[in-house]
């Protein structure tokens, strides 16, 4: 329900004082109890909200585990400290007065029909807000919600269109680790253009894999890109005739991309550690739907502009090569170490990757891009600059 409140009768706004010191003036609000987070929201609550209620049951359960209810005391503006921009916000409980640009206010009551929809999304956006009672708010990142709705809608459409008895891609988007909320937001497909999502879902093939089965072998030609739906793998490489364990991969991790991106042979052997299921994409489909969309090539001129604005140069060659003709200001992260940089590099910063020919840097750029980094590839590599040299 909602009722109109005229400005003269609206609840009093939090007190504001203007303190002057020298030539500067700053605004400070009265000190009050700040917003606090409570236990996770229930699935039943999510089922009552639009458009969240359209998500699958399994997706709702996953989302509920990531959402928290925010408590805000009465007579406060809940969006002063934490603005609403970039978020989908619901009033779960309590009464909130929102002021429209034309000057009159509406009271929205948690649990009522109006509260089923995000605040400020029906009609004109509000210019101010104040809690009449203690309230509970639910905030969800706009981009995350859009990703979830997009993938689930495409998966449901795929399931309805299938007439065979093969596993539905709707099950994949819900049950697979690769299609978890975290991976859709930050993982292998986080940078995938929306236009490619449906076709990608259709072209993936699900295969069973047994413990001890070699999926890719070091030295072999690259043929497929893999994503682990369930199970675990070990990655090993021959060093001096001895097999060295490089990493262990889990559900949601991808592998096999380096050979496909750089057009080189497999540089490691990947073996199933336990029984599991893999999603497989052949080279042609990988190049069309994943490689090219994720590789953002830029010229040296554009790269220099980005670097001047704060982007970081990354040389992915061996240290001995890096020392010889590195670009001034570049850091050295060899291609073999690029996976170890995931989680260490700042996702708020842009990165420009290069090597001699573009072969190694394209693989590195893809590895970062599919994990949510803003990675750019120097078009043509250092060889593309001719005889020019910058830095020593």
Q: Which of 53, 67, 233, 355 is catalytic?
A: 355
Structural domain range at position 133: 2-141
67 flagged as catalytic? no
pLDDT tens digits, one per residue of 237-254:
998 889 999 999 998 788
Q: Is residue 73 part of a domain?
A: yes
Query: What DSSP string runs through 242-262?
Result: EEEEEEEE-TT-EESHHHHHH
pLDDT at 382: 92
**Calpha distance 391→384 (Å, rounded):** 16
Say whether both 275 and 339 belong to one domain. no
Number of domains in the chain: 3
Say whether both 235 and 303 belong to one domain. no
Least Cα distance to 228 among 212, 248, 246 occurs for: 248
pLDDT tens digits, one per residue of 281-338:
999 988 888 777 778 899 999 999 999 999 999 999 989 899 888 999 999 999 888 8
Q: Which helix (H) or strand (E) holds 307?
A: helix 300-308
Q: Whose structure tokens read 């009672």?
A: 133
**Calpha distance 237→270 (Å, rounded):** 9
Say whether both 320 and 279 belong to one domain. no
Choosing from 99, 115, 141, the residue where a domain stops is: 141
Q: Is residue 238 part of a domain?
A: yes
pLDDT at 86: 85
**Calpha distance 70→139 (Å, rounded):** 8
Q: Whose structure tokens read 């509000």?
A: 126
Say whether both 7 and 90 belong to one domain. yes
Q: Is residue 174 part of a domain?
A: no
- The whole-number average pLDDT for the span 56-81 is 87
68-72 vs 95-99, strand pairing mode: unpaired
- The whole-number average pLDDT for the span 125-150 is 86
Say whether both 247 and 361 belong to one domain. no
Say whether both 40 and 111 belong to one domain. yes
Say whether both 133 and 13 belong to one domain. yes
CATH of the domain at 282: 2.60.120.10
Query: What DSSP string runs through 18-48?
Result: EEEETTEEEEEEPP-PPPEEEEEPPHHHHHT
Strand order of the sheet with strand 214-216? 214-216, 269-272, 233-239, 242-249
pTM score, whole prediction: 0.55
pLDDT tens digits, one per residue of 339-380:
889 889 998 999 999 998 888 898 888 888 877 789 999 999
Say whether both 7 and 97 belong to one domain. yes
Q: Whose structure tokens read 């076709």?
A: 199
Which range, of 49-53, 73-77, 213-217, 301-305, averages the lowest pLDDT? 49-53
pLDDT at 263: 80
């Amino acid at each position: 329900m909602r009722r109109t409140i005229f400005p003269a009768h609206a609840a009093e706004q939090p007190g504001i004082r203007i303190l002057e010191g020298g030539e500067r003036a700053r605004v400070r609000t009265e000190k009050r109890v700040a917003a606090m987070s409570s236990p996770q929201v229930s699935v039943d609550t999510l089922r009552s909200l639009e458009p969240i209620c359209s998500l699958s049951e399994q997706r709702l359960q996953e989302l509920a585990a990531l959402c928290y209810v925010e408590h805000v005391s009465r007579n406060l503006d809940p969006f002063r400290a934490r603005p609403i921009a970039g978020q989908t916000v619901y009033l779960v409980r309590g009464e909130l007065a929102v002021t429209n640009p034309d000057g009159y206010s509406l009271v929205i009551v948690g649990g009522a029909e109006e509260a089923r929809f995000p605040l400020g999304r029906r009609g004109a956006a509000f210019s101010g807000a104040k809690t009449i009672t203690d309230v509970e708010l639910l905030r969800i990142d706009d981009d995350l919600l859009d990703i979830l709705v997009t993938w689930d809608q495409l998966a449901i459409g795929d399931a309805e269109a299938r007439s065979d008895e093969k596993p539905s891609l709707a099950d994949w988007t819900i049950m697979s680790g690769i299609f978890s909320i975290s991976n859709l937001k930050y993982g292998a497909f986080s940078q995938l253009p929306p236009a490619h999502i449906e076709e990608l879902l259709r072209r993936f093939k699900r295969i069973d894999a047994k413990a001890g089965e070699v999926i890719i072998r070091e030295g072999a030609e690259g043929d497929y890109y893999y994503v682990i739906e369930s199970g675990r793998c070990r990655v090993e490489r021959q060093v001096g005739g001895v097999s060295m364990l490089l990493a262990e991969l889990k559900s949601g991790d991808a592998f096999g991309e380096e050979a496909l991106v750089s057009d080189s042979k497999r540089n490691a052997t990947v073996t199933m550690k336990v029984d599991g299921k893999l999603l497989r994409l052949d080279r042609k489909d990988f190049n069309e739907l994943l490689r090219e969309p994720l590789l953002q090539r830029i010229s040296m001129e554009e790269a220099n502009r980005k670097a001047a604005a704060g982007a970081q140069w990354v040389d992915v060659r061996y240290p001995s090569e890096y020392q010889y003709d590195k670009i001034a200001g570049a850091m050295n992260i060899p291609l073999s170490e690029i996976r170890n940089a995931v989680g260490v590099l700042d996702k708020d910063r842009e990165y420009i990757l290069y090597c001699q020919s573009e072969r190694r840097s394209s693989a590195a750029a893809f590895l970062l891009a599919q994990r949510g980094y803003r990675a750019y590839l120097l078009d043509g590599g250092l060889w593309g600059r001719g005889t020019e040299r910058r830095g020593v």
